[in-house]
Structure 1
Amino acid sequence: MLRSLSADDARFKTVSFTDGLNLLVADKRPASSDTDSRNSAGKSSMIELIHFLLGSRATAKSLAMNKALRSTTYSLELDWPGLHHPLEVRRTGQRPKVVTLSQDILGVSDGALFQDDGPIELSVEQWTSAIERDLFGLRGDHPGVSGRVLLSFLARRASSHGFNEPTRTFSRQSAPEAASNLAYLLGLDWQLVDGYRELAARKATRTQLQKAVNDPVWGRIVGSTADLRGQITLAEAQVERLRRQVADFQVVPEYERLKDRADQVSRRIKQLAQEDVIDQHNLEELQAAVTETTDTEVGYLEPAYRELGIVLTDQVRRRFEDVKSFHHSVVRNRRRFLEEEISELTERLNSRRAERARLGEDQARLLRDLAEGGALGALTALQTALGREEAALAALRHRFEAAQTLEASARQITAKSVELQQAVDTDLQERQQQTNEAILLFSQYAQRLYGQGREAYLAIEAGRSSLSITPRIDSDDSRGISNMVIFCFDLTIAVLAHRYGRGPDFLIHDSHLYDGVDERQVAAALALGAEVAAGEGMQYIVTINTDNLSVAAQRGFDPEPHIRSPRLNDEHETGGLFGFRFKTVKSSR
């Protein structure tokens, strides 16, 4: 149960709660003018602050985030399962992502050397999880059921249009989301009912995909199954080819060194060939020179001189012989030099021929080693290419699956919807005890308001798109009747959830619920709320205006034992909950 709502601002009026019915009253002062209004007295603000302290999402439009209120720290005391003293939770708009608790409810300090019984800080997410676990009995993963949504059924907010329909807590809430949470509160198979939410998500996805396919640009992103099947076949062949290359690839140790050595050998062979061309040319010239180097024939000289009548003296003959001998010596020396050059060139050519043969063998071996594998870098590049092609193939397959899903989704969704409807219908038959209890309880509450002759019941059935829960009271569809349908429905789910450990022991209603309601039903509803809260060991908190309360009193309901302090009023500056006036913006969910 909730015990008190307070703030560290001295102007704020602390609200205290007790067991049973709690009435927070907004009075109209005798001196009030026609322009005064109790709409800003703080009745709805109290419910907004309770939600804020129980983990609601803080946005720029949230009440506690208002510039005039952001620095204020708000506190809520409430009973907590397993604790002997009330738990106090504090939260401020300046640090909206954390809450401060007066006691450790999560065992956060279990590993500490010295246990600290003082306040601890939790993230809002941790706090919400603790609420789901301890106040609603939710354990483990529970997709489709949220503690925040469950709280919104037990403390509807006018700012979220929570009083528009009994089975929704805000105007844009989907029927499947609301149904799975209501199924949990009523004790039905909420996990089975949550299938409707998953089915709705599939329908929404199909709708978006269908729009994309029909778009001339985005349609190419999804594609048709026929086109994608051909692209996948080609991509699979490419991936398989790369996989074989990777499987057959051998990493050659010191690949780069071998490659450099092969390049060096190739360059050396080329250099030797060039040197051979030069030396071969020189060899041919030297061989020709050797052939041309011979002794000059001089035997014709002496007969020629005699013919001329010149007789050579012995001295001339001796000199001629000397010249001839010198010339022979020169010829011999030249031939010897040329032959030595030829021998040297021949030796170089033979040496290079042998070196080329050896280098040729080295080159063949190196090329063979290189041809058998490659460097680690080449393997990495090949593997990268394979990964890229595999990713592209996976993307094509995803597109193919999306295209297949889209083309077959209409039939699949229809089949799944029928299957789910049958399963939920079977579950409702098996859980007839729970549904009967809810139906009878709702009918009992409605007949307390409108008499035994009024037909009132809950219609619970498996629909095609959602579990249908429809509270009905035979009426003229007036606003007052509709509001009392919400009253009876909320009281039913709150009582059943509390009885079976699926919900806390409080229910909160804003004064908007009683607007336009016949005075007889206002009195009957408050009396019924007080009776049920006392009988079930619960707490029913109602914010209400004096005029509604006075007509209830005239119908025999005694409000005095249930009125809690403070009494708010329409005094312009200090009469409201916060003790001062400030500009407000429309709150978000």
Structure 2
Amino acid sequence: MRLIELRANKKSFHTVTFNPNGITVIAAIKETEDQKKTYNSVGKSLTIALIHFCLGSNSNKEFLKLEDWIFTLDFKIGSEEFTSVRSTINQKEIELNGEKYTLKEFNKILEEKLFRIKENTKYVTFRSLIPRFIRYGEDGYISNDRYIKKENPLATLLNNAFLLGLDTDLILKKADLREKELNISKLKAQLNNPEFKAIFGTENKKDLEIKIVELETLINRYKKSIEEFVIAEDYNSIRKEADKISYDLKNLKNKASKLQIAISNIDKSLEIQPDISKEQIIQLYENAKFELGEMVIKKLAELEQFNSQILDNRKRKLIQEKRDFEFQLLEISKTISVLGSQEDEKLQYLNSTGALDDYTKLNQALSDNEKKLHSLLQYKKLESDYKLFVEENKKDFTNENIITAKYIEQVDDLIKENIILFKYFVEKFYSEKNSGITILNNEGKNATRFDIKAKIQDDAGNAVKEVKIFCYDWTILKGKHNHNLNFLFHDSKITGDMDTRQVKTMFEVANNECKLNDFQYIISLNQSVIESLKSEMTIEEHKELVTDRIKLILSDKSPEEKLLGIQIDLNYE
């Protein structure tokens, strides 16, 4: 892939036409003496943002300020030419060679044409890979392996490894193992969480097996009771009848008890005799030497006769009452006997059958206890699974470490190729510094499969970071691992801390590689850098490598001289 032209539907826009091969320079010229004005607002970075916009980047709210603007990018893949068109209003849609697509569809088309991505490779897409060739924004120039703002470390590793020709499956495998390990840790925390235990009814894990056995025994009992249960359709009516008989029996037994008490009292009354007789009274007076008159003795005889008569009448009455009570008691006893037999019959029937409500309660009790047992068995399985997961994960980590170690031995030539290529570029800048790209097997329990480091001796020094970015990007481009791109695009940020000699070397390397490999190198430069290069280059070199390569000049002189040709503030990054 190489870029041809970026344009817009507005006459004010400065069309950017790229050299088909070799170096293309977008120059930012500072023409005013106003110190507040800088190179940073003329449109260098905006050019990159608009190229990404035309290559299916996410919608950008800031571009909505450009209400009716439409941007077009012409580019080439192999010998096939393409034109993508995208409106700032309807950003969810993009046109490719006259056909309209969603962003997802568009990106998939370019992904298949430009990158050799295996199926089910997470985090590696056209949109994750293209910034490796068109670095974008401040975040794109922090380090050689960082291109996208807030990119997931795993995604960074996968995309870099992919472009270095490494096996991404090994990276994904370890990431999966790490995710499993984290899930195992979560499971362990859950198993020890009191609230979680309460849900399963397992406050004390030591009693778990005992509880399970107890519940299993209870459940078997309920099942047996249900199996033997006979539902009586007339159960409730029989129950009511039995209750009525029991009630009547209770009343009759109370009455019988009262009658028995009354009869007992009559018997006691019949045994009572007069306390003293006439003869006893006479004898009493005789003993006292006191003589009673005939009249008095006569009166006593009459009184004794009267008293005897009263006692006889009372006795006859009590005997009659006793007979009446005994008759009543006999009748009640007969009734009690009959009702008692009826009660026994009905209770026996009720004991051998049951009501539907009772049957339902039995089933509900069975269901409740089965749920408790299910929870306990679930908890037991979780505990068992946890122990199994821990051991399996340890084993898998070890196995993957061994597999990766063997893999690194197998791709030794590939690793050396990347080292040699990176060293080749670095040595153009620092002939005395050791450099290379190390690829090590990370055996730790983490999501990092490979430790990939681009190294330049004393890389904390001035501008070494920018040199490392330049050399690493050219290593990716020239290595041609899994991609079909033929260009690099760098912002002026890459020259920010470089001295003039380093910038000159950068141009010499880019020019040489473009000639040898038919590559396209695009860079935006500030006027100060362009002018400073005159001191390090001959007039012919400066003309050939720089001034003749300038395809667009942007200036701070007026809004018309800027990329859009209008004054508007866009925070597009």
TM-score (norm 1): 0.65
Q: CA RMSD in A?
A: 5.3
Q: CA deviation at 1:436?
A: 2.6
CA shift for structure 1 position 53: 4.7
Selected match of 2:410 from 417, 430, 440: 430
Give 2:241's aligned residue: 268
Q: 1:95 Cα shift?
A: 6.5
- Percent identity between the aligned chains? 18
Q: Given that residues 42 and 577 in structure 1 are in contact (C-alpha distance below 8 angstroms), is that contact kept between their aligned partners in structure 2?
A: yes
3-state SS of 2:437 partner? strand
Match of 2:270 in 1: none
Q: What per-residue deviation string (whole Å, max 9, x for no partner) do you get for residues 45-77 of structure 1?
A: 22234345545556xxxxx32386375666453
Contact 1:8–1:74 (CA under 8 A) maintained in structure 2: yes
User: 1:505 touches 1:538 (CA, 8 Å); kept in 2?
Assistant: yes
**How big is each residue's C-alpha offset from its partner over 1:486-513, in whole Å with a ceiling of 9 and x where there is no partner?**
212101112223xx43353332211111
Q: Secondary structure at the match of 1:577?
A: coil
1:274-313 matched pairs, under 5 angstroms: 274-278=247-251
Which of 482, 485, 500 is 1:519 aligned to? Answer: 500
Deviations 1:157-200 (A, max 9, x none): 3421x323223336876876544432221112233345665687
CA distance in 2, matches of 1:20, 1:286: 130
* Compared CA separation, residues 353 and 75, structure 1 to 2 (3 A): farther
The within-5 A match list for 1:161-200 is: 162-169=140-147, 178-193=156-171
Counterpart of 1:489 (choices 425, 450, 472) is: 472
Hey, what does 2:121 align to over in structure 1?
Answer: 142
Change (3 A) 1:341 1:209: closer
Rounded Cα–Cα distance in structure 1 between residues aligned with 2:42 and 2:495: 17
Counterparts of 2:381 and 2:56, CA distance in 1: 42
Task: Tell whether 2:205 aligns with 1:232.
Answer: yes
Q: 1:86 aligns with which of 82, 102, 107?
A: 82
Secondary structure of the residue aligned to 2:147 is coil
Whether the 8 Å contact between 2:129 and 2:159 is mirrored in structure 1 is yes
Map Cα deviations across residues 189-239 of structure 1 (whole Å, 9 max, x no partner): 2333456656877899999999x99xxxx996799xxxx999334334434
After superposition, where does 1:165-564 map in structure 2 within 5 Å? Answer: 165-169=143-147, 178-193=156-171, 231-243=204-216, 245-246=218-219, 249=223, 258=231, 262-278=235-251, 352=339, 355-367=342-354, 376-390=363-377, 393=380, 423-449=403-429, 456-462=435-441, 467-473=450-456, 478-497=461-480, 500-502=481-483, 504-552=485-533, 554-555=537-538, 556=541, 557-559=544-546, 562-564=549-551
Q: Contact conserved, 2:488 with 2:522, CA < 8 A, in 1?
A: yes
In the aligned structure 1, how far is the partner of 2:87 from the partner of 2:204? 57
Partner of 2:295: none
Cα deviation, residue 569, structure 1 = 1.6
Matched residue of 1:516: which SS? coil
The question of whether the paired residues in 2 share the 8 Å contact of 1:442 and 1:489 is answered with yes
CA shift in 2, pair 1:531/1:348, >3 Å: farther
| Distance in structure 2 (CA, Å) of the matches to 1:550 and 1:359 | 118
CA displacement, residues 13-58 of structure 1 (integer Å, 9 cap, x when unaligned): 4434453245352332544533321111121222234345545556
Q: Deviations over 1:548-572 (max 9, x none)?
A: 33444644043355433x4322235
Aligned residue among 117, 138, 161 for 1:159: 138
Match of 2:24 in 1: 23
TM-score by length of 2: 0.67
Partners in 2 of 1:245 and 1:382 — Cα distance?
8
Q: Which ranges in structure 1 are unaligned for 5 or more consecutive residues?
A: 59-63, 104-116, 290-337
The answer as to 2:555 corresponding to 1:569 is yes
Relative distance call for 1:101 and 1:153 in structure 2 (3 A) is same
Partners of 2:438 and 2:49 lie apart in 1 by 31
Tell me how far apart the structure 2 counterparts of residues 10 and 82 of structure 1 sit (CA, whole Å).
Answer: 31
Change (3 A) 1:147 1:86: closer
- Say whether the 8 Å CA contact 1:44–1:510 is kept in structure 2: yes
Quickly say closer, same or farther: Cα 1:254–1:246, change in 2 above 3 A.
closer
Aligned counterpart, 2:279: none
Q: Is the 8 A contact 2:231 2:359 kept in 1?
A: no
Q: Structure 1's 391 and 570: CA in aligned 2 closer, same or farther, altered over 3 A?
A: farther
Give distance in 2, aligned partners of 1:239 and 1:80: 71
Q: Quick one: distance in 1 between partners of 2:345 and 2:568?
A: 100
Q: Is the 8 A contact 1:494 1:506 kept in 2?
A: yes
Alpha carbons 2:22, 2:518 under 8 Å: kept: no
Distance apart, 1:393 and its partner CA? 5.0
Question: Matches of 1:251 and 1:127 in 2, distance apart?
Answer: 69
Q: Offset at 1:83?
A: 10
Matched with 1:65 is 61
Distance (Å, rounded) in 1 between the aligned partners of 2:46 and 2:355: 86
| SS in structure 2 at match of 1:504 | coil
Aligned partner (choices 96, 101, 105) of residue 102 of structure 1: 96
Letter of the 2:223 counterpart: F
The answer on whether the counterparts of 1:446 and 1:488 sit within 8 Å (CA) in structure 2 is yes
Give the letter aligned to residue 86 of structure 1.
F
> Quick check: 477-486 or 193-202, which moved more?
193-202
Could you say if the C-alpha distance between residues 205 and 169 of structure 1 is closer, same or farther in structure 2, counting changes exceeding 3 Å? Answer: farther
**8 Å Cα contact 2:208/2:376 also seen in 1:** yes
1:80 and 1:386 map into 2 onto residues whose CA distance is: 67
In the alignment, structure 1 residue 119 sits paired with structure 2 residue 100: yes
Q: Which amino acid aligns with 1:120?
A: Y
> Residue 86 of structure 1 aligns to a residue in which SS?
strand
CA contact (8 A) 1:250 1:372 kept: no
Report the AA paired with residue 37 of structure 1. T
